[in-house]
Amino acid sequence: MAAPERDPLTGYSTTGHEWDGIKELTTPIPHWWVTVFLGSCLVALLYMWLFPSFATTTGVFKGTLGWTSEGQLAEEMAAGRAAQAEWRRQLADTPLDEVERQPDLRRFAIAGGRAAFNENCAPCHGVGAGGQIGQFPALVDDDWLWGGSLAAIQQTVRFGIRSGHEETRDSMMPAFGEMLSAGEIDSIADYVLTLSDPSAAASRARLPGAELYAANCSACHGAAGEGGRDFGAPRLDDAIWLYGGSKQAIRQQIATPRMGMMPAFAGKLDDDTLRMLALYVHSLGGGER
Amino acid sequence: MPATTLQGLAPSRAIARPDIPHAVRGRFRRIKTALTGLMLGLYFLTPWLRWERGEGLPGQAVLFDLPGRRLLVFGLEFWPQDLPIAVGMLVFGAMALFFATTLAGRVWCGFACPQTVWSDLFFAVDRLIVRLVGKGASERRLRTLAWVLLALATGVGFTAYFIDAPSLPGLLLTGQAPAIAYATVLVLTGTTWLLAAYARERVCLHMCPWPRFQAALLDRQSLVVTYQDGRGEPRGRRRTPLRPDLAQPAPAAPAAPALMGLVAQAVAFSAPAPSPSLRGDCIDCTRCVTVCPTGVDIRRGLQMGCIGCGLCIDACNEVMVKLDRPEGLIRFDVESAPRRSFLAPPRVDWLRPKALAFGLAALLALGFSGYGMATLAQVSVHVEPQRNPPFVQLSDGSVRNDYALRLAHRRAGLARVVLHAEGLEGALLRLGTQDLPAADVVRVAIGSDRTLDERLLVVLPARAAPSGRRDVTVVVSEADTGEELARIPTYFWGPER
C-alpha cells in the first residue's frame, strides 16, 4: 500500500489506496454541509430535551417545557373562549327575548346553539330537528308538549323531562289497559280521531266514546282535546301524532302509554350554551312568543 | 455590473459594454420615455383616484377589496363568480400580444413590459447619479439608496391597490396596517429590487420565456429591428472611402433577399477584413451596442436578446446625421419585402392571415368580456331547500317547507325587496327572524352590508299541499318599482298521499 500523498491538481490528499496505478482522493465533505449537519443534530438534541421524546422503563420523559398535545388543545380552546368572551358576556347580560332583536348577538348565539344542538340533541331529535315519529318530537313544527316560548324551551333543555332532576318536568299518563275494557278503549280511540276533524264537530258528541273521554281523558287533554302544557299532555285536536295517528296506534297509546324521557342538560352544559340552545331551537320555525 | 451576453453571441470584436447603457436621443427614445412616464404614472396614481359609490362603500376608484371579496373598478363591481370576465380579459391580453408581435416584433418587450419600464427607470436614475456625483464610492452608495427607495415606493404603490390609498402611508408608519400589508410591501420591494435594480436585462436574457417563443410568432413579414447589412458592410473607419454605390445618390441595385441572407451569413462567420479599401455606411462606432439595454449587437441580425426597443436605431441615426448620411442604417424593417433601395421605407403587409386571426381572436375575447360586464347580474339570490326534514307537518294540517335564503346585491339604491312563490296557490311566506304573520309575499329591508342570510318559511294549507314534489319559482322583486330582480327555480315537498 502506498502512503497517502497530496494530489497536485486538486490539493487534496489521497487515501493511500492504489489499484493498478489508480489512486483514490479523499475529497472532504464541504464545510458548510458538515456545519449544517452538526447544527441539525444539535437542534434535534435540543428538541429531545425540550419535548416528550423517549420512553423510559417506568414511563416517558416529559420534556423540560412540560408540553402535551392535550395541554395545547386546552390552551387553544381557552384562547377561542377568550376571543368569544365579549359576546358571551353580552349574551349572559341580555334577556333572551332581547337577544332576538339584536342581529349580531342573535347570529352568535344561534351559531353556538347549532353546534351544541348537533353535539347534544341531534342523536334523538335529528340534525334538522325533524324528530322521529313514534320516538322523539319534532322541534321545527308549531306543536309543543311543554311550551314553545323561549323561557319554556330553556326550562325543558335545562331540567329535562322525566329526567330525575329535582326540577324536572314530570307527568304520567295512566295505563288504561288495566282500567277499561278493550271495547271502551276502542270507542275512546274512535272519538279521539274525530277531534281533529272539523267536519265531525257536531256529530262527535253522539259517539259512545264521548262520555268515556270526558270522564277519563279531558282532565289532562282538555274537553275538546286542546291539550295541557302544564302536564305535557299533547293536543289531540291537531294533525301531529307523536306516536302515530292510526286508530291502532291510538288504542295502543291509551292501553299501554309510552312517555318520552329527556335528560337534563343543566350541569352538563354551561349556562351560555343552554341559552344558545334555547335561542337556536326557538329559531327553527315554531318558536312562540 | 459585468457585461452580459448570450452564450455564442459574443461580439465579433471585443466591445466594452458599459455597466449602464449610454443615453441616447431620438424618436424611439421619446416614445419610450413617454410610455414609461405614462405606465409609471398609471401605476402610482391610479389608487389615488376617487369614485363616490355611496354610503358604506369604499371611495377608491380602483380597489381590490379582499375582505369584501370584490374588485371595484370605477362604476363596476366584480365578484369572484365573475371570473370568466377576467379570463376573457387575459385571453384578450394574450391575443393582443400575439397580434402586436406578429406585426411589429417585440414591441411589448421594448416599450410596455413592466420589467422594461422599471429597468428603464433604474437606468435613468443610475445615469443621473453618475452625472451628478461622478463614479466612486459615494455614487455606489447613492445608487443603492435610490434603488431601495424606488423599490419601496413600488411596494407601497402596489399595496395601495388593496387598502384605501390616502390612509395607507399613515397606517404603515404608525404600525396599524394589517400584517399582510407589511408583507406585501416587503415582497414587492424585494422583487422590484431583485428584478429591476439588480437583475435588469438578465431577466429578459435568461429568465423570461417570451424570447423563447417569439420565433413561433415572428415571420418574414414582421417588422423587427434590422441592421441593413447590404448598406452597412463592410465596416470601416470613417477615413476609409465610402462604397461608390452608396456614395452615389442613384438608387442601389436591388438585391434579392436570398442574396442578402448569404451576405449576412458571410459577414457573421468571417472576420471582417482588417483594413478594407472601401467601406459601407457602418463606421463600427459601437454606439448601437453601448446604448442597448440588453447589450446585443444588432448587426449580427435578429437575436433572442433583442427586445425591439429601437434605441440602437436612435443611436445609429445620430451618427448618420453627423456623417451627413441618410438615416435608417438600422431601422424597423421586414425581412422579406423586396426593396427598391436601402433608403426606401419598408413595405409592410398588414393584412396577413396570421395577424388577422390573432386580431380577430383578441376582438372576440374583448367582446366576450365586454358582454359579460354589460350584463353583470346586479342581484345574486340563492334559495336552498332544507331537506332535513323534507317538510314540516303543522298542527292545523298545513305543510311547511324551509329554505336557506341568501341574497347579495351590488345595485345602487336597492333597499327593500319582495319575495313571492310562483306556482304555489295560497302559499304563505315569512322569514325566520320576522314576527309578522305569514303573508303571500314577504317584504324585507336590506342593510348597508347589502346581503341577506335568512330562513325562508313557506306554508301551504292542507288541501293545497302537493303529494310529493312540486316545482316552484321564488321571485325576487324590487319593493317600490316591482321590477323583477331574480327568478330562482326550486321545489316544495309535501307528504305522500
Of residues A243 and B245, the one with the higher pLDDT is A243
Kindly give the parts of chain B with pLDDT less than 50. Answer: 1-11, 250-259, 262, 266, 268-274
Topology of the domain covering B379-494: Immunoglobulin-like (2.60.40)
CA dist., res. B137 & res. B242, Å (int): 45
Q: What confidence score (pLDDT) does residue A7 get?
A: 84
* The model's pTM: 0.71
Residue B495: count other Cβ atoms within 10 Å of its Cβ. 14
Q: Where are the domains of chain B?
A: 27-217, 220-334, 379-494
Q: What confidence score (pLDDT) does residue B273 get?
A: 47
Residues of chain A in contact with residue B400, where contact means CB-CB under 8 angstroms, are: 140-141, 285
List the single residue in B387, B388, B402 with the smallest CB-CB distance to A285: B402
Please compute the mean of the pLDDT values over residues A65-84 and round it to a whole number: 94
Cβ within 8 Å, pair B394-A283: no
Q: How far is A101 from chain B (nearest CA, A)?
A: 9
Please compute the mean of the pLDDT values over residues A89-114 and round it to a whole number: 92
CA dist., res. B144 & res. B123, Å (int): 13
Which are the contacts of B59, defined by CB distance < 8 A and separation ≥ 6? B50, B51, B52, B53, B164
Please compute the mean of the pLDDT values over residues A183-211 and round it to a whole number: 92
Distances B186 to B144, B171, B172 between C-alpha atoms, Å: 17, 15, 12
Q: Are B276 and B253 in contact (CB under 8 A)?
A: no
Q: Are B137 and B178 in contact (CB under 8 A)?
A: no
Please compute the mean of the pLDDT values over residues A234-240 and round it to a whole number: 92
Please compute the mean of the pLDDT values over residues A126-155 and round it to a whole number: 92
Which are the contacts of B182, defined by CB distance < 8 A and separation ≥ 6? B172
**Chains A and B: how many Cβ contacts under 8 Å?**
55
SS3 content of chain B, % helix, strand, coil (to 5): 40, 20, 40
Q: Are B456 and B401 in contact (CB under 8 A)?
A: no
Q: What confidence score (pLDDT) does residue B1 get?
A: 36
Of residues B17 and A119, the one with the higher pLDDT is A119
User: Within an 8 Å CB–CB cutoff, is residue A199 touching chain B?
Assistant: no
Helix pair angle (B83-104, B353-374), 10° resolution: 160
Peptide bond into B2 cis (omega under 30): no
Which of A36-50, A55-69, A124-138, B280-294 reaches the highest mean pLDDT? A36-50
Which residue in A has a C-alpha nearest to residue B398's C-alpha?
A239
Of residues B440 and A36, the one with the higher pLDDT is A36
b (16+ CB within 10 A) / e for B68-85 = eebbbeeeebbeeebeeb
List the single residue in B387, B400, B435 with the smallest CB-CB distance to A285: B400
Q: What confidence score (pLDDT) does residue B270 get?
A: 47
Q: Are B331 and B320 in contact (CB under 8 A)?
A: no
Q: What confidence score (pLDDT) does residue B124 get?
A: 93
List the single residue in B395, B457, B462 with the smallest CB-CB distance to A285: B457
In the three-class reduction of DSSP (H, G, I as helix; E, B as strand; rest coil), residue A146 is classed as coil
Q: How far is B482 from chain A (nearest CA, A)?
A: 27
Which are the contacts of A149, defined by CB distance < 8 A and separation ≥ 6? A282, A287, A288, A289
Written as one string, the DSSP assignment of B259-322 is HHHHHHHHHHHSPPPSS-SSB-S-----HHHHT-TT---GGG-S-TT-----HHHHHHHHHHHH
